[in-house]
Amino acid sequence: MRPDWLDRDAFPFTPRLVDLGGGEALSVTDVGEGPVVLFSHGTPTWSFEWRHFLKALAGRYRCIAPDHLGFGLSPRPADGDYRPEAHARRFSRLVDMLGLERFHLVVHDFGGPFSLDAALSRPERVASLTCFNTFAWAFGDGPGTRRMAWLAGTPLFRWAYGALNLSFVISRSAWGDRSTMTSATWAPYLPVFPDAGSRRLVLWALAKSMKGSAAYCESLWERRARLASTPMHVVWGLADTAFPPSALARLKQGFPHASVHELPTAGHWPHEEQPAVCVESVARFLDAHPATSTHFTAPLSS
């Protein structure tokens, strides 16, 4: 399953394909044993963005990092549904298929909408929630974002996502401390979407979902009270131009019980820019909020 462009030293794990049924399957990295930490990546990345956590936590946690459909090493069916609500349906299906009765959830970017429906539908399963620069509401519900949500669904943006690889242009622009971005930073991400067709199929589908999936995303925010007693931690790069401090303020308002670790110089990818700081922050939080269930399943068989 490992492509030639994936460096083994950078990602020393062997993902496995999990058949979800109905012609859908996800690539899943499953390492370590103990209480489960379940990761949900955003766009345009894949589970590679969690590599520092997998390496650091696998000694005492079972770390599970799926690639959402069309991302990373997962299949990319031409007729697949790549809207946030479809990713959420598959994520819930994966949780059920792996028999995860209790887990810590860690999300970033669109990984929030991809996974929070599973948490909100069965909050008793969630031992804790950690959020990195993400959202849980309709993206186009303000004057500024409403125009952006409309533009993202236009033929112009469809062209730009394919021809100009606009998703990665936006990703680079949302970086905070440019000194932390090396020439190798995007090497594990760019080959996943090598042509205009793949970018339009998967990445533009999420761009236009800012308007098309507004009702689904808003339903997450409307149900946020279900996580009021769930331990929650937020790690936020304040120099993020895609998810500015106003998004963090909204998250704080919606989840006032959450602990918050602000990183002033980091942007949209704090765990790529300051991995050691982020790993330590999350590890400390997880260790302070142990899962109450004593039943922990083993990793997928090798």
Given 104, 268, 271, 289, which residue is catalytic? 268
Given 240, 261, 271, 289, which residue is catalytic? 240
Q: Is there a catalytic annotation at residue 108?
A: no
Q: Is there a catalytic annotation at residue 67?
A: no
Q: What's the CA gap between 236 and 269, in Å, rounded?
A: 9
The set of residues, in sequence order, having a beta carbon less than 8 Å from that of 208 and lying 6+ positions away, is: 152, 153, 157, 158
- Closest C-alpha among 279, 289, 284 to residue 231: 289
Given 109, 117, 233, 289, which residue is catalytic? 109
3-state secondary structure of 164: coil
- Closest C-alpha among 236, 215, 254, 17 to residue 113: 215
Q: What's the CA gap between 30 and 272, in Å, rounded?
A: 21
Q: What's the CA gap between 21 and 148, in Å, rounded?
A: 36
Q: Is there a catalytic annotation at residue 233?
A: no
Residues annotated as catalytic are 109, 240, 268
